[in-house]
Structure 1
Amino acid sequence: MTDICIAHGGDIGEPNGGTDRVTALAAGLSDRGYDVTLVVPTPSNQLDERFSDLRIESIDLPTHGVSTQPRRAYQISKRAIEVADKENAKLQFEHSTLAGVGTFRGVSDFVLDIHDLAFRSPLYGELPMGSIIQRFIEFVEGRAIHRANNIVVVSKLMKEIIVEQWKVPVDDIIVVPNGYFEHRIAPYRSVETVPSRVAFLGTLHPKLDIEAMYDIARLPEVDEFVVIGDGNRREDLESASKQIDSLSVTGRLPDEKAFQLVSSAAVAVNPQFPSELQATSSPVKLYYYAGLGVPSVVTEGPELATDLEAAGAAKVVSPNEDFDIAVRELLNSKDRRESMKQSARRAAETFQWSRRAAQFAEVYEPVVDM
């Protein structure tokens, strides 16, 4: 008998920040004795042992592209509601847009886990009639937020924005940031550093400042800037790599290759366009950079970036600073990088997904009768 039914519209067979959160929380709930069903699109790859105790309800759906999102949200929410009703299970939605679509079927009293606020995303604002689409998404997200029984968000700033935007009582929202899987990176901490290598790991989305990445690749101290990941900016980066010898765009890589490359880098980076959306995030790549002990240079905004700088593990770049200059200064200071390396590993001890899952499980203590 299912206790908790979790609806997620992403491909859990394709590891990234969003799916890592979903699978870590689902596995954490299962480890605590809950019978968990995941309703998801059919995974593109074979699932690992973390899923062995989870029931997977899959639907054959495309998982890439904005145009596929409405159909995906409808089908996933519909199936999840059916499973929850049949099993008398507590319903959990990943993402406010998916939950908002679910509310049109009359559902309420669910757990809502919000990874990001979609209505301000440039992904929609840059579409034809983008402002109208964003207003509709804001309406959909608001329906989800007002009908949820429990709301979980990834950052304090996201909580503040939701309280202000939708007039939600502050005590109705709890913060559970993202994290990293210790077992995925532990084998790569002893990889030898390549002093002239810079790395980026993550989704190549519109928030990414690729001009800053080009500037980094052109630094005389950089022999290789390896960009690991996929997304709608990949084509631009690949085109630039034909003109910039040091720029290497790999696409998605298996964990063993991706983490080995990042761990070998002298500096890892996350150049972003500063925005409220970016500031509310909890970037998973930064948790992995810290866990691997790689000094990082990151755009200011997210709470995690501030915390890492305070811990001596990262350099935060403000809008009036040159991102590439900050990278260059770090590449030219081996002693500083070594100090940041040790600080990053110490800070990362509290970031593991096992700890985040324990926090999240507290949401269910008063709402699921075991």
Structure 2
Amino acid sequence: MGGLIGKLESLVLRSADGVVVIHERFRQYIVGSLAVPHSKTRVIRNWTHLPASPSSDRDEMRTHLGWSPDDIIVLHAGNMGRKQGLENVIDAARLAQRRKSNVKFVLLGDGNQRRSLEEKAKGIRTIQFIDPLPDDKFQHALAAANILLVNELPGVKDMAVPSKLTSYFNAGLPVIAATDAESVTASEIRSSGGGLRVDASDPECLLETAEELGGNATMASDLGAQGLRFRHETLSETAAIGHYDDFITSLAMARDR
């Protein structure tokens, strides 16, 4: 059945005048596995639905969330499911507590693994769970952190771009991606220049990288600025609409020839 579906998918895509995908990895797949001519394809990124990161009293938000001025807040936002492998973050938080580190991990959101994660995190003071927030408060919470985190299970290399990355880059903060080197997430971090990658399921490396970033304001600022630049140049609505306009125009002109 899978082979039949693949053949049908290939036929449909090859019959189109043009095919838009949201990431270069997806283009490699449809060209290499589905025999779609490279010339028919175009990468146009999904844009973030959030406006530019709001100006706010960062200290006030940190106080509201219970974060001290000395805390190095590493915030993971979004789904708490199996694919995220957030046990790695629990282990890193446990290690931070043992070492009396200033790093504090925050898991913002919900998911089918949250209850289990909360059980595993009992007694660990260097981790905090926050319920989902509306968009405006969500942006303020991101902006109040020091570092933003993507965490994935080892072996996650499927064709999915974590939507949280667009929100992260929007905040202008450095990102740590705990993920395999060949994952789409790792590719996005390399393309943006907005963060650092550590191996998935290596809590010690995650903690040490957070401590390094938390203690190096220049590096953190540079990475955050690169992510914000990537957001404006690649992930903005204006950029995407411009690319769609160019692509559709080129297809129409090709038909007129």
TM-score by length of 1: 0.53
Distance 1:241 1:162, change over 3 A: same
Once residues 15 and 89 of structure 2 are traced to their aligned partners in structure 1, the CA distance between those partners, rounded to angstroms, is 41
Alignment of 1:1-370 (within 5 A): 138=6, 141-142=9-10, 144-181=12-49, 183-188=51-56, 191-192=58-59, 194=69, 195-218=71-94, 219-220=96-97, 221=101, 224-242=104-122, 244-275=124-155, 277-278=157-158, 280-298=159-177, 299=179, 300=181, 301-302=183-184, 303-308=187-192, 311=193, 313-319=194-200, 322-352=202-232, 353=236, 354-366=238-250
Once residues 8 and 113 of structure 2 are traced to their aligned partners in structure 1, the CA distance between those partners, rounded to angstroms, is 27
**Helix, strand or coil for the counterpart of 1:230?**
coil
Q: How big is the shift at 1:232?
A: 3.4
Aligned to 2:66: none
Once residues 140 and 240 of structure 1 are traced to their aligned partners in structure 2, the CA distance between those partners, rounded to angstroms, is 45
Q: Sequence identity, in percent? A: 19
CA contact (8 A) 1:198 1:224 kept: yes
Distance 1:318 1:231, change over 3 A: same
CA contact (8 A) 2:14 2:36 kept: yes
Higher relative contact order (CA 8 A, sep 6+): 2
Structure 1's unaligned 5+ residue stretches are 1-131
Distance 1:233 1:165, change over 3 A: farther
Q: How big is the shift at 1:154?
A: 1.9
Q: How big is the shift at 1:294?
A: 1.7
CA contact (8 A) 2:54 2:140 kept: no
Q: How big is the shift at 1:173?
A: 1.5
Q: How big is the shift at 1:204?
A: 3.0
User: RMSD over aligned Cα, in angstroms?
Assistant: 3.2
What's the CA shift string for 1:65-106, capped at 9, x where partnerless? Answer: xxxxxxxxxxxxxxxxxxxxxxxxxxxxxxxxxxxxxxxxxx
What's the CA shift string for 1:319-352, capped at 9, x where partnerless? Answer: 5x82442333432554524422233224422423
Q: How big is the shift at 1:150?
A: 2.6
Aligned to 1:17: none
Structure 2's unaligned 5+ residue stretches are 63-68
Once residues 7 and 102 of structure 2 are traced to their aligned partners in structure 1, the CA distance between those partners, rounded to angstroms, is 46
**Helix, strand or coil for the counterpart of 1:330?**
helix
CA contact (8 A) 1:267 1:331 kept: no
CA contact (8 A) 1:237 1:249 kept: no
Once residues 211 and 104 of structure 2 are traced to their aligned partners in structure 1, the CA distance between those partners, rounded to angstroms, is 12
Once residues 229 and 176 of structure 1 are traced to their aligned partners in structure 2, the CA distance between those partners, rounded to angstroms, is 28
Q: How big is the shift at 1:367?
A: 5.7
Paired positions, count? 231
Amino acid of the residue matched to residue 305 of structure 1?
I
What's the CA shift string for 1:180-223, capped at 9, x where partnerless? Answer: 356252335x6247533220112334321222121232222256
Once residues 206 and 137 of structure 1 are traced to their aligned partners in structure 2, the CA distance between those partners, rounded to angstroms, is 27
**Helix, strand or coil for the counterpart of 1:166?**
coil
Distance 1:186 1:292, change over 3 A: same
Once residues 304 and 209 of structure 1 are traced to their aligned partners in structure 2, the CA distance between those partners, rounded to angstroms, is 19
Once residues 365 and 233 of structure 1 are traced to their aligned partners in structure 2, the CA distance between those partners, rounded to angstroms, is 46
Once residues 276 and 145 of structure 1 are traced to their aligned partners in structure 2, the CA distance between those partners, rounded to angstroms, is 26
